[in-house]
Amino acid sequence: MPDIKYEIIEHIGVLSEGSKGWKKELNLISWSGREPKYDIREWSPEHEKMGKGVTLSREEIEQLKKLLEEMS
């Protein structure tokens, strides 16, 4: 499996933290040099390992925000 190239452009925040120090985070990430997208996934303490996650465009994150606001 080839190495995944990524750059965390902006760390937005931590959603939760597991007992082993992994954190579920919302970040703005550039994958393989492409345009940055919003990303939610778990990261090891030094960001050297990651879990499966979901990547969202600006439009998708805005729609998610609207949906969450409707819930409250």
Inter-residue contact 25 to 45 (CB < 8 Å): no
CATH of the domain at 47: 2.30.31.70
pLDDT digits (tens, 9 = 90+) for 57-67: 999 999 999 99
Q: Is residue 23 part of a domain?
A: yes
Q: Is residue 64 part of a domain?
A: yes
Which pTM value belongs to this model? 0.89
35: tokens are: 């345009």
pLDDT digits (tens, 9 = 90+) for 40-56: 999 999 999 999 999 99
Is a pLDDT exceeding 70 seen at residue 1? Answer: no
Q: Is residue 1 part of a domain?
A: no
- Provide the residue range defining the domain that includes 21: 6-71
Domain count for the chain = 1
